[in-house]
Structure 1
Amino acid sequence: MRVDRDADVVVVGAGLAGLRCAQALVAAGRDVVVLEAGDAVGGRIRTERVDGFLVDRGFQLLNPAYPAVRRWVDVDALGLQPFGAGVAVRTEAGLTVLGHPAREPRLLPRTVRTVAGRSAEVAALARWAAPLLRPRRGPLSEVVAGRADVDRRTALDRAGVDGLLRRVVDRFFAGVLLEDDGSTADRFALLLTWMFVRGVPALPAGGMQALPEQLAASLGERVRLGQPVRRVTATSVETDDGTWSARQVVVAAGAAQATALVGVPEVATKGVVTTWWAAPGAPDTDLLHVDARRTATGPLVNAAIVSRAAPSYAPPGRHLVQGSALLGAGRNPEEAEMRRHAGDLLGVDPSRWEVVARHEVPDALPVQPVPYRDARPVVVDGVVVCGDHRDTGSIQGALVSGQRAADAVLGAR
């Protein structure tokens, strides 16, 4: 039976952007309803419980240094479990470590040994990161805006970054940006680097989905699940159950869905495949591991013993290991290949690991190419559109986009 309803604002999509937008509008006194096609909130952020393990849809981390997270999220309530502030690096000579000197003093001796004799490489890396090292008065975004608008590879080449440290930077970013060709805008890479300097990525005790669930909790019954949307206009939303009339419609869907519903120019996305394994034992390390050999010996961009950093992700006496690889453009590595490479990076025999889950996420992140744009228009043909594809491909970008959408609605009123 079709039923017509109305609200001040109908938000289509209950990902981070849609939830933040709805929160801001409710706080301003608007009558808001959020329509979500899926069976849970969070959009691309989802957590499953499998045989006592928590596995996120793709390996994701929350950086509490994001300004939007500090402003709009109750971080303490999430019970964050941080990873080590550094990276373990597999080289031809074995395993070495690079750590944050202030946040991980326990890693300082190993870090000093890694960079010893590499003064030219360190100096080149400092040239690339110069905007982060100089004192400044204004926001970092303003400082970065004065930098040449080139891709990450070009910027590193111009700074002369090479050798082991170049391979570490490239392969670390491959896991963060989901690209290994250096095509991401250098300005965005610098901003993310600053976030890693200021904060240590972590996992909530209840899984990454605890983040959108916290935002949704403040909205209560305004969030309606299982409501796929067929068509939208600036003032109406058509679903299988009927049509919603609104003074304003906000489309807070992914890039492809926003294009289908509103006709905004489609933003390309990057994919990742993550395999999760149960392990009977594991080395005592909470660091992310990357392959910094001149020629990587497998498909993974990173591997980690997740349960060493986040014990809540595994039942007592067992460990959870993840390995992530790029997906798309002919890439979709087999589980056996990923397992072998993960064991190699971690320095263990993976033959007794058992697969807990495998997630292929083709739309994990929107691309962030040059010319760098950190804010696309949020009003398109009268419809307000938000999502990380309208700002930056990150949790920060999704939350800021949702706030920008709410501001657009309130400003129009």
Structure 2
Amino acid sequence: MRADVVVVGAGLAGLRCAQVLAAAGRDVVVLEASDGVGGRIRTDRVDGFLVDRGFQLLNPAYPAVRRWVDVDALGLQPFGAGVAARTEDGLDVLGHPLRSPGLLPATLRTAARRPREVAALARWAAPLLRPRPGRELSEVLAQRADVDRRTALDGAGVDGLLRRVVDRFFAGVLLEDDGSTADRFALLLTWMFVRGVPALPRDGMQALPEQLAATLGERVRLGQPVRRITGSSVETDDGTWTADHVVVATGAPEAAGLTGVPVPATKGVVTVWWSAPDAPDTDLLHVDARRTPTGPLVNTAVVSRAAPSYAPPGRHLVQGSALTRDGGDTEEMRRHAGDLLGVDPRGWEVVARHDVPHALPAQLAPFSSARPVRHGDLVVCGDHRDTGSIQGALVSGQRAADDVLAVGR
């Protein structure tokens, strides 16, 4: 079996890479080990519910999404542009004043009691607040000290409730609660949250990779695990493919095993989905901003309030997510979710539980937004070669395709 290019892995990076190569006239085949495209972006249908494998959201503000995805066709269902923080005194709300004007009174009440904390947070976020005529944000951030998130927030004097909200919010986004992520990456993500409201596609997150795969047709071969790559030969259970170029577009651990390429450490998450007969009327992400959190969750949300297509009529879908080290007890996760939402969760029933040990690559300081994709004769792509995000996966796939086409010239 032969092709011009064999792409190993049908996640976002592999699919984007194959799209570019096919459009350039290359004979490309994509070999995917599992029974569906998407890599870590998969959606299961369980008793009329849609449950993604790990709580994931799509930010339509990502430049790669705007450029290469038909966003309108996904039927995005946005969450509220804000966060609800459970405190010792009740519930404090912080929202984007322009994207969620209904949250403005609650946001002002929260901020008005903490002018010093607001000023400190503004110091930390200064690159996002100042005009940047003729300059990209990445250029501005390059002038900033390349330290971890904790060091940067401490340096700006961010503390109190707002510090706890920022830390707990990022714990769910970055899957770390120790502030070890590069500050530059945290600011880049913050800018994306300012520019767009994260949402869920009508048919689940897997609709995103399925849209990319639809342009490739029979070039995508499912159920084809790759056992070994030797030079230009790719060995599968069904035989060996030979190609002029081989692109490895798997997750970080698999890429390391197939190619020996150095990869960053990964961070894991546990997400439990519950069916609820009723639920609070809120489309906000809820976090525990008490000085001592009372449970393992980094966040919880009534998903069906933001994305009604995720639940059948008459039911609601609630998710709760915890870092892998904390997500052992499903019942404790349910109790904590009810506590954060301010309801009794004893009537909730488990729909699914997903343990995703390699959900995100770590993004440590010093920060690099683009690791090399060329590894000897092989090309390697994935969010572990770029930023740990949907944006990073798509851009990495594009860079891999560009590398193959450049060699072919």
**Normalized against structure 2, the TM-score is what?**
0.99
The answer to whether residue 383 in structure 2 is matched with residue 388 in structure 1 is: yes
Quote the Cα distance in structure 2 between the aligned partners of 1:341 and 1:333.
13
CA distance in 2, matches of 1:207, 1:227: 24
Structure 2 counterpart of 1:160, from 157, 160, 169: 157
| 2:61 maps to amino acid | A
1:243 aligns with 2:205: no
Matched, 1:182 2:187: no
- What are the Cα deviations for residues 343-385 of structure 1, in whole angstroms up to 9, with x where unaligned? 0000000000000000000000000011111111101011000
> Is 1:11 aligned to 2:7, yes or no?
yes
1:105 is aligned to 2:67: no
Is residue 234–residue 381 contact of structure 1 (8 Å, CA) maintained in 2? no
Whole-angstrom distance in 1 between the partners of 2:20 and 2:230: 22
Alignment partner of 1:342 is 2:320: no
1:333 Cα deviation from its structure 2 partner = 2.7
Decide whether the 8 Å contact of 1:299 with 1:333 is kept in 2. no
Corresponding position of 2:19 = 23
4+ residue stretches of structure 1 with deviation over 4 A? none
Q: In the alignment, is the contact (CA less than 8 A) between 1:375 and 1:391 conserved in 2? A: yes
TM-score under structure 1 normalisation? 0.98
Q: 1:365 — aligned with what?
A: 360
Tell me which amino acid in the other structure corresponds to 1:384. Answer: V
The CA deviation at 1:392 is: 0.7
Q: What is aligned with 2:371?
A: 376
Q: Which runs of 5+ in 1 are unaligned?
A: none
Asked if 1:81 corresponds to 2:77, the answer is yes
Which secondary structure does the structure 2 equivalent of 1:193 belong to? helix
| 1:128 is the counterpart of 2:124 | yes
Q: Report the Cα offset of residue 234 of structure 1.
A: 4.0
Residue-by-residue CA offset, 1:180-207 (whole Å, 9 max, x unaligned): 0000000000000000000000000000
Counterpart of 2:289 in structure 1 is 292
Distance (whole Å) between structure 2 residues aligned to residue 45 and residue 407 of structure 1: 24
Once the two structures are aligned, what percentage of the paired residues are identical?
Answer: 82
- Distance, in Å, in 2 between the alignment partners of 1:175 and 1:130 is 23
* Rounded Cα–Cα distance in structure 2 between residues aligned with 1:154 and 1:267: 21
- Indicate conservation of the 8 Å contact 2:372/2:385, yes or no: yes
Q: Is the 1:13–1:252 Cα contact (8 Å) retained in structure 2?
A: yes
The one-letter code matched in structure 1 to 2:347 is: R
Partner of 2:191: 194
Q: Which amino acid in 2 is paired with 1:353?
A: W
Residues 256 and 267 of structure 1 are in contact (CA less than 8 Å); yes or no, is this contact kept in structure 2? Answer: no
Instruction: Name the residue aligned to 2:147.
Output: 150
Matching residue of 1:48: 44
How far does residue 321 in structure 1 lie from its aligned partner after superposition? 0.2
Distance, in Å, in 1 between the alignment partners of 2:177 and 2:150 is 10
Letter in 2 for 1:242: G
d(CA) in 1 for partners of 2:143 and 2:284? Answer: 34
Letter of the 2:111 counterpart: V
SS at match of 1:248: strand
> In the alignment, what sits opposite 1:316?
313
Contact 2:266/2:359, CA 8 A, preserved across alignment? yes
What letter is aligned with 2:368?
A: R
Please report how far the alpha carbon of residue 139 of structure 1 lies from its aligned counterpart in structure 2 after TM superposition.
1.4
Determine if the alignment matches structure 1 residue 208 to structure 2 residue 205.
Answer: yes
Question: Residues 96 and 110 of structure 1 are in contact (CA less than 8 Å); yes or no, is this contact kept in structure 2?
Answer: yes
Q: What residue identity is the alignment partner of 1:244?
A: W
State the distance in 2 between where 1:71 and 1:165 align: 34
- The answer to whether 1:115 aligns with 2:111 is yes
What's the counterpart of residue 66 of structure 1? 62
SS of residue in 2 equivalent to 1:296: coil
Matched, 1:220 2:217: yes
Equivalent residues, number = 407
- Which residue is equivalent to 2:266? 269
Question: For the Cα contact (< 8 Å) 2:327–2:333, is it kept in 1?
Answer: no
| 1:308 partner amino acid | R
> 1:181 aligns to what SS in structure 2?
coil
1:121–1:163 CA contact under 8 A, matched in 2: yes
* Alignment RMSD: 0.7
**Cα distance in 2 between the residues matched to 1:266 and 1:69:** 25
Q: Distance in 1 between matches of 2:224 and 2:233?
A: 14
CA distance in structure 2 between the aligned counterparts of 1:59 and 1:380, rounded to whole angstroms = 32
What is the CA-CA distance between 1:265 and the residue it aligns to? 1.1
- Equivalent pair of 2:229/2:258 in contact (CA under 8 Å): yes
Query: Which of the residues 23, 28, 33 maps onto 1:32?
Result: 28
8 Å CA contact 2:6, 2:245 repeated in 1: yes
CA drift of 1:332 comes to 3.0
Name the CA distance, whole Å, in 1 between partners of 2:265 and 2:128.
Answer: 29
Q: Which runs of 5+ in 2 are unaligned?
A: none
Structure 1 position 117, deviation (Å): 2.4
Provide the rounded CA distance (Å) in 2 between the counterparts of 1:368 and 1:182. 11
CA distance in structure 1 between the aligned counterparts of 2:407 and 2:230, rounded to whole angstroms: 16
- Summarize deviations over 1:114-161 as a string: whole Å, max 9, x none: 111211111100100011011112211111111100000000000000
Q: Secondary structure of 2:391's partner?
A: helix
Q: What is the alpha-carbon distance in structure 2 between the residues aligned to residue 203 and residue 332 of structure 1? A: 24
- Rounded Cα–Cα distance in structure 1 between residues aligned with 2:58 and 2:138: 20
Distance 1:97 1:245 in 2: 57
Amino acid across the alignment from 2:107: T
Report how far residue 233 of structure 1 moved.
3.3
